Chains A and B, each alone.
Chain A
Amino acid sequence: MSGASVEAAIARLSDGIVQRYAEGSRVVLIGIQTGGIHLARQLAGHLARAWQSEVPVGQLDVAMHRDDLDQQLAPKVHPTSVPFDISGKHVILVDDVLCSGRTSRAALDALNDLGRPQRVELAVLIDRPHRELPIQADFIGEHVATEPGDRVDVQLTEGNGASQVFIESPSPRSP
């Protein structure tokens, strides 16, 4: 995906959220480390323009809440910073790619430790198949058909239209 289609996907995400929420006074965005952080900031910019009000943005790290910690080397722990109260809010978790659903599950768990939101929803730029848990996104930028072994790499740059999404396949696709 090139810059223009990435921008269009982010705009679709934003439109979907604005359709659901006529005004944003109780909406907060929380990006999941690390891929969701930039996306959450960009999305907040779109939403702030639509609602004419600032949208709080936090960042959440899920390393300590993963379910595979003894099966792999310890993942790097990034900062969690949610400098506002999420209790009673409409939290939209933001991630770049949804695949197995395990990161989202861990994020729900991590969010639980920070407060009790009124509602939690999930916004992703890229929705892949291959789910391993009963988790679906509420807001989707783009559905992408991938093979299980593919790697999806989202590179977001703010404001200059140079964002890109790569799909890397370990072996040539079967026709």
Chain B
Amino acid sequence: MKWHRKDLLDLQSLSVEEIQTVLDTAREFKAVGERHIKKVPALRGKTVVTLFVEPSTRTRISFELAAHRLSADVINFNAEVSSLRKGETLKDTARNLEALNADFIVIRHSAAGAPHFLSRVLGAHVVNAGDGAHEHPTQGLLDLFTMREKKGRLAGLQVTILGDILYSRVARSNIWGLRKLGAEVTLCGPPTLVPRTFEAMGCRVVHDLHQAIADADVINLLRIQHERQRKSAFPGLGEYTHLFGITRSRLADTKPDVLIMHPGPINRGVEVDSDVADGERSVILEQVTNGLAIRMAALYLINGGKATTPGAN
């Protein structure tokens, strides 16, 4: 058991013990979710603000439900109709939220490092719910949790992350966490989205799908973020699907017990076919359930962390 941090900002800065602490704690919070009464009083009287400057529905709902299940009060700050539209700076917005005695700020922002900035200027606990293409730590942790739960271990596991790696914060959080815990990571996709520079993070980079998935224990599919790519990284979705889409026939080339994962939302028929996404190897919906447990664990753990504690970030 090791957790001193006031904030959860990324997986890059977490130690192996800290990651394991979150995963172990989440296991017990998952059990709470399976009870008749799914709520515990751990954050009673605390206020959690979800400050989503970039739109997201599922992550926000997951955080809000996690906070509710811990008995916190939850406020959703909607950037689309807020003062941020009127030119208020992020710092001023956050300080105003803190002046309302918000204890936790869960932030999603298109700028990498925005949560780290807030953690320096605020006394409130800060959780990164996705910052640009940098990290999405709770998604990374819930992916690790799901793999560990299903496969019984992470060390030595062969994990293939497939798709839009370059623009993906989910990929980066996965890579940091998986490498720290001893898993082998293969990245695959079009060369424009999977540059060799990722080899510096300890990953194998391949551009041939068969080579990438033949020995995989886990295939983590990333969404093709066609809205995020400013210039076309590949000729078209049809070509992407032809070369990298996971279909039932392509699963014949994999280990029979390979796990199919996806952070959602799925582009059915693009990165994955419906009969694979809904098939017996898919754990996509379990990832959603586990995400709630991970977010409860994260809020629970950082609640006890203090900025002044030795070892804090």
Q: Which residues of A contact B (CB under 8 A)?
A: 61, 63-66, 69-70, 72-80, 109-110, 113-115
| Contact among B3, B31, B304 with A79 in the assembled complex (CB-CB below 8 Å) | B31
B276 in the interface, Cβ–Cβ < 8 Å? no
| Contact among A65, A80, A115 with B28 in the assembled complex (CB-CB below 8 Å) | A80
Chain A residues within an 8 Å CB radius of B25: 74, 76-77
Closest to B46 in A: A70
B139 in the interface, Cβ–Cβ < 8 Å? no
Interface segment among B37-45, B150-158, B206-214: the answer is B37-45
> Nearest Cβ distance between residue A13 and chain B, in whole angstroms?
28
Q: Report yes or no: B303 in contact with A74, Cβ–Cβ below 8 A.
A: yes
| Contact among B31, B39, B300 with A74 in the assembled complex (CB-CB below 8 Å) | B300
In whole angstroms, how far apart are the Cα atoms of A79 and B35 in the complex? 13
B123 in the interface, Cβ–Cβ < 8 Å? no
Chain B residues within an 8 Å CB radius of A66: 42
Knowing A61-B28, A79-B31 are in contact, say whether A70-B40 is a contact too (CB < 8 A).
no
> Nearest Cβ distance between residue A88 and chain B, in whole angstroms?
15
Q: Report yes or no: B4 in contact with A78, Cβ–Cβ below 8 A.
A: no
Closest to B39 in A: A113
| Contact among A70, A76, A115 with B1 in the assembled complex (CB-CB below 8 Å) | A76
Chain B residues within an 8 Å CB radius of A79: 28, 31
Q: Report yes or no: B303 in contact with A77, Cβ–Cβ below 8 A.
A: no
| Contact among B29, B35, B297 with A113 in the assembled complex (CB-CB below 8 Å) | B35
Q: Report yes or no: A77 in contact with B4, Cβ–Cβ below 8 A.
A: no
Contact residues on B (Cβ < 8 Å of other chain), bracket: 20 to 34
B32 in the interface, Cβ–Cβ < 8 Å? yes
Q: Which residues of B contact A (CB under 8 A)?
A: 1, 3-4, 24-25, 28-29, 31-32, 35-37, 39-43, 46, 70, 297, 300-305, 309
In whole angstroms, how far apart are the Cα atoms of A51 and B42 in the complex? 39
List 20 extra interface pairs beyond A78-B28, A80-B28, A113-B36, CB under 8 A.
Answer: A61-B28, A64-B32, A64-B40, A64-B42, A64-B300, A65-B40, A65-B41, A66-B42, A69-B304, A72-B304, A73-B309, A74-B304, A77-B25, A77-B28, A77-B297, A77-B300, A79-B31, A110-B40, A113-B40, A114-B37
In whole angstroms, how far apart are the Cα atoms of A80 and B32 in the complex? 9
Chain B residues within an 8 Å CB radius of A110: 40
Chain B residues within an 8 Å CB radius of A75: 304
Chain A residues within an 8 Å CB radius of B37: 113-114
Main secondary structure of the interface of B (DSSP, over half): loop
Q: Report yes or no: A74 in contact with B301, Cβ–Cβ below 8 A.
A: yes
> Nearest Cβ distance between residue A162 and chain B, in whole angstroms?
27
> Nearest Cβ distance between residue B217 and chain A, in whole angstroms?
26
> Nearest Cβ distance between residue B290 and chain A, in whole angstroms?
16
Question: Can you offer 9 A-B residue contacts whose CB atoms are under 8 A?
Answer: A63-B42, A64-B32, A65-B41, A69-B42, A69-B300, A73-B4, A73-B305, A114-B35, A114-B37
> Nearest Cβ distance between residue B194 and chain A, in whole angstroms?
38
Knowing A73-B304, A73-B309 are in contact, say whether A64-B41 is a contact too (CB < 8 A).
yes
> Nearest Cβ distance between residue A64 and chain B, in whole angstroms?
4
> Nearest Cβ distance between residue A74 and chain B, in whole angstroms?
4
In whole angstroms, how far apart are the Cα atoms of A63 and B304 in the complex? 12
In whole angstroms, how far apart are the Cα atoms of A109 and B71 in the complex? 14
In whole angstroms, how far apart are the Cα atoms of A113 and B39 in the complex? 8
Chain A residues within an 8 Å CB radius of B300: 64, 69, 74, 77
In whole angstroms, how far apart are the Cα atoms of A97 and B203 in the complex? 51
Q: Report yes or no: A73 in contact with B28, Cβ–Cβ below 8 A.
A: no
In whole angstroms, how far apart are the Cα atoms of A63 and B43 in the complex? 12
Among A72, A74, A109, A110, the most chain B Cβ lie within 10 Å of the Cβ of A74
Closest to A79 in B: B28
In whole angstroms, how far apart are the Cα atoms of A65 and B41 in the complex? 6
